[in-house]
Structure 1
């Protein structure tokens, strides 16, 4: 008879690539993990892993059986969730968040999660989408709100919100009457998202297409830093103005009409790795989608 605990151990050893990591995930010892996998291999009559000094790798048959193991674990998870009220969800959920979301509707989501699932503890990491994707794939976080989608195996993506990009400058900076040629804007540094982000690359390419071979660009994962630099008159910025209501209304900052290619929208997704322990991430992602939709409606009515 096949022990479901051994199947779970097989799954995590395959997903994490080592018996040590699987033992830490399951809260047991490495010898216990080895014994469970050996028992499963004996029950199935196949070899699931090749073992060497670097860790474990799946055999061809192991790859084939991994999908069945994942499906069995998901069925067990679904059965357990169906047997109890969803409000009993508990434990820690690690969420990685792009700062644009932090500056808009994340606090409302945290409030709603606390009310609906008081036994869930949220651990929040704020970073660039590039870093968040790498942390998600390394299973260092359970759920990511980032520029997406994440096109990797077993990753689920749920649309959250879309925000326009715009050129923003300190109101006292004189660039002449608009629309302003891009070459004129580039006489000052251009400040935008981190250098490994899609907006940074798109703005850089835009500048190079008009003959600016070495554009002066400052990239930062901190939007508060970007806004501070613009307020200090260091240069213009390419960011979403969705969280700049106060600065734009007070006249400290203004939107700049630039003669250039249209700026693309920022498309944010909730992304998580589908698997037997992904139920909380899926539920919170759906809550985030609803919170983002209400935030969009509220902003459109202002």
Structure 2
């Protein structure tokens, strides 16, 4: 065994392969190539004098020796990272953290959170990607994202989550369109003929779409008027241009309501708020990432009562 020729990058690479499941995912996380990862693992096996991986066709899994090495080295590397951070604190932390967020969560809490994070960890690079919740969870599980802010609930044994509050949903339209509901945002929930006004909802894989579909069943809006869009900001702009009615996340429309560009439609079916969670992989034990998760878990999205108090 040539233990003096084993480097930290050999062990770090092994741990990321175990966490993410594949050489390619580990290569992406470590900002290198799959051939480089394969070469590191060949070197590690040669220098330890034991097989760490069991190859079966195109698939690969850790041997008993590989699993033991991961189990023994994971806490050692974590303690080393903590020791290094202890000399300079998180202000000296470096590396890249990839954060995924849904459009609603990004508009509701991400900007101040990121600003605070950069103030505490100026040398940590952030890569932020806005995507749909289903995609965010998949990216988190495959290691393409380290932390995700997503509509919940989120239930997966490989992930740990923390609730960060809920966002209220409101029926809104421009003053012109709202007038067709009884003027100034009134009317809408009573009887009578269906109102032929375009209705906008996020696409079918969004949590808002199901709420919209159910609410339309209880309203006097013609179901055939439903239109879909995968971008909430675009739907808000359409509504402001007299393009129809929509159910919108409250934090994203607060300024437009205060300026009178959009008005709330009274007597429309009540909508349950959308709950949000922050999530990370259970296997991730890097001190920097765990600290960021702890900070994110302290976030609290504004509620409907907070909004009403400002009116």
- TM-score w.r.t. structure 1 length? 0.79
Q: Which has the larger displacement, 15-24 or 195-204? A: 15-24
Mapped contact 1:127–1:221 kept (Cα < 8 A):
no
Aligned to 1:126: 130
What stretches of structure 2 of length at least 5 have no aligned partner?
Answer: none
Range that drifts further, 185-194 or 57-66: 57-66
Compute the displacement of 1:279 (Å).
2.9
Distance (whole Å) between structure 1 residues aligned to residue 305 and residue 169 of structure 2: 19
Counterparts of 1:131-210 in structure 2 under 5 Å?
A: 131-173=135-177, 174-176=180-182, 177-181=186-190, 187-207=196-216
Matches within 5 A, 1:107-118: 107-118=111-122
Residue in structure 1 matched with residue 91 of structure 2 by the alignment: 87
1:252 is aligned to 261
Q: Which moved more, 1:162-171 or 1:55-64?
A: 55-64
Looking at structure 1, the residues matched to 69 and 264 of structure 2 have their Cα atoms a distance apart, in angstroms, of: 56
Q: Aligned to 1:285, what secondary structure does the other structure show?
A: helix
Q: Is the 8 A contact 1:183 1:210 kept in 2?
A: no
List per-residue Cα deviations over 1:187-219 (Å, max 9, x = no partner). 433212332111212322444578999654333
TM-score, normalising length: structure 2: 0.77
CA distance in 2, matches of 1:168, 1:36: 61
Partner deviation per Cα, 1:104-140 (whole Å, 9 max, x = no partner): 3322222222222111121111122222222212211
Of residues 228, 245, 262, the one that matches 2:237 is 228
1:32 to 34, 37, 40: 40
TM-superposed deviation, 1:87: 1.4
Question: How far apart, in 2, do the equivalents of 1:292 and 1:224 lie?
Answer: 22
Unaligned runs of 5+ in 1: none
Equivalent residues in 2 for 1:257-272, closer than 5 Å: 257-260=266-269, 262-272=270-280
Q: CA separation in 1, counterparts of 2:20 and 2:166?
A: 33
Query: What residue number does 1:239 align with?
Result: 248
